[in-house]
Structure 1
């Protein structure tokens, strides 16, 4: 049996083919203008799944990078504060050595040294309450606002208290299984209560004013200074760890971007060639259609 082919059949078939060519050109133009091979999940289901997994890893890595940046800022603040505290304590030690020369120094000079030590104590207290973005760097997770508080007693003596919680530290996650401490234990650096460096300087100033020999206090100052230097070393080690993590996350981000680009981004040269090829095919189809559909109604009426 021979199927009957009419002009309407040819017209519909031709228009369908032309529309298919136009759809291909539109898809190629959309990819080139957007710069992406995958414009919707159906374009490449496997590639879409890989891209989604890579983007999840990218978001996690970006958060790790932000954590490292924030941790470095915390540790830089702590390092500066502890270094300043060591310098202040060195100055207090020098003054204590001067005050220990009781035979060569009168009470007026001792009182002057005591006043200078009071100033160093206040500077140390201010440094101990250093904060970063509104958070005290020496109080752990405490929201007290200050790492150390001072209470003036009725007899004009002072009581110092650390407001942090023992064992509660500020951590920054650098990888899925690695965290690094970003704060410092204020009680370890400056001491707490009667054992604090502030109370020690108060005692030295009181001894100077009362004529008591302050030479034995030098050992206590050295002990507190050793604790501060140990904290500087610890902060330096953690700082180095965060810098390594920062560098590693940046490299990981570059690798992830490269992998995403390989899956999603178009090859511009290739897509241009495809568009030109499709355009030639479309023009050829138009030419063929014009030849096939040339007969008109007048041709049949002749």
Structure 2
């Protein structure tokens, strides 16, 4: 059956083709302006869902990076404090041995050693109250502002401070100060007080060497554990960076357009639009206005 094609039918078909070409050109221009493969979910629902998942993973990765940085700050601060503590205790031991030599030491010399021992005690107490970003690194979750009071009582122990550095790894970034310095009469501070008192009172300071050695061993033991945790956090830096690069590559493959591809598509749409304009111009019948022009 032969279907009659009128001029009106031709004009309607030409207009539809022109509208389609114009819409495709506008879409290509929109993609070219932002180089975005997905400007609305309907463009590619599957890719949109995948992109949402990748962006969620990127946000988690960024949070892990912040946690790693914070954890590194805590553990670096603790590492420095423990290193100083070890040196202070070693100096106290050397002075104690020196003061134990009764035959060669005068009362004045012993007084000078006792004064230095007390100075070391004060420095040790300051180390025990080391803080990072306003929080004591030896007091756990306590908000007291310090780990040890002037009477050597421990104010921490309420809970540990932890940082999640990836999906399955949480690292403790604080240290229980009571494990490092002891508490009350059994603390390193009290031991140094006894040494100073024995030096002034003529007591046997050698009796305190075992306690000093015990404090130093406790510090070294805790320091080793901190070093292991610090190594875990530092290793996470490279993993986190690698994950960040991989996630960005995945996001780009889903959302970003290739420059050459966009340029070719835009050029093709412009040619198609020009062809549709030309075809429409031929199909639309001249009017009286065209003759008057």
User: Shared topology, TM-score over 0.5?
Assistant: yes
Per-residue CA deviations over 1:185-210 (Å, capped at 9, x if unaligned) read 10011111111110110110011111
What are the within-5 Å matches in structure 2 for residues 1-302 of structure 1? 5-150=5-150, 159-165=151-157, 168-293=159-284, 295-297=286-288
Partner SS, residue 33 of structure 1: helix
Q: Is the 8 A contact 1:99 1:110 kept in 2?
A: yes
The Cα of 1:299 is off from its aligned counterpart by: 9.6
Shift of 1:118: 0.7
Deviation at 1:297, TM superposition (A): 3.8
| Structure 1 runs not aligned, ≥5 long | 151-158
Q: For residues 173 and 254 of structure 2, what CA distance do their matches in structure 1 show? A: 38
Is the partner of 1:103 in helix, strand or coil? coil
Q: Secondary structure at the match of 2:175?
A: coil
Q: Give structure 2 stretches of 5+ with no counterpart.
A: none
How many angstroms does 1:238 deviate by? 0.5
> What's the Cα RMSD here?
1.8
Structure-1 separation of matches of 2:285 and 2:95: 110
SS at match of 1:277: helix
* Range that drifts further, 195-204 or 50-59: 50-59
Q: Give the match's secondary structure for 1:160.
A: coil
TM-score after normalising by structure 2: 0.94
Task: State the alpha-carbon separation in 1 of the partners of residues 169 and 15 from structure 2.
Answer: 63
- Mapped to 2, the partners of 1:45 and 1:163 lie a distance apart of 56
What's the CA shift for 1:213?
1.6
| Cα distance per residue 1:104-138 (max 9 Å; x no partner) | 11111111111111111001111110000011000
Contact 1:102–1:213, Cα closer than 8 Å, also in 2: no
Report the CA distance between 1:16 and its aligned residue: 2.5
Q: CA deviation at 1:294?
A: 5.0
Cα contact 2:32–2:266 (8 A) shared by 1: no
Distance 2:119 2:289 in 1: 112
Question: 1:142 and 1:299, CA in 2 relative to 1: closer, same or farther beyond 3 A?
Answer: closer
Q: In terms of mean alpha carbon deviation, does 206-215 or 283-292 score higher? A: 283-292
Query: 1: distance between equivalents of 2:289 and 2:21?
Result: 31
- TM superposition shift of 1:169: 0.8
Give 1:5 deviation, angstroms.
4.9
- Which residue in the other structure is 1:156 paired with? none
Q: CA separation of 1:299/1:40 partners in 2, compared to 1, >3 Å: closer, same or farther?
A: closer
Q: CA offsets per residue over residues 192-237 of structure 1, 9 Å max, x none?
A: 1111110110110011111112012112111111111112211111
Partners in 2 of 1:118 and 1:284 — Cα distance? 95
User: In 2, Cα distance between the equivalents of 1:67 and 1:298?
Assistant: 73
**TM-score, normalised by the number of residues in structure 1:** 0.91
Q: Distance in 2 between the 1:23 and 1:293 partners?
A: 20
Deviation for aligned residue 1:259: 0.8
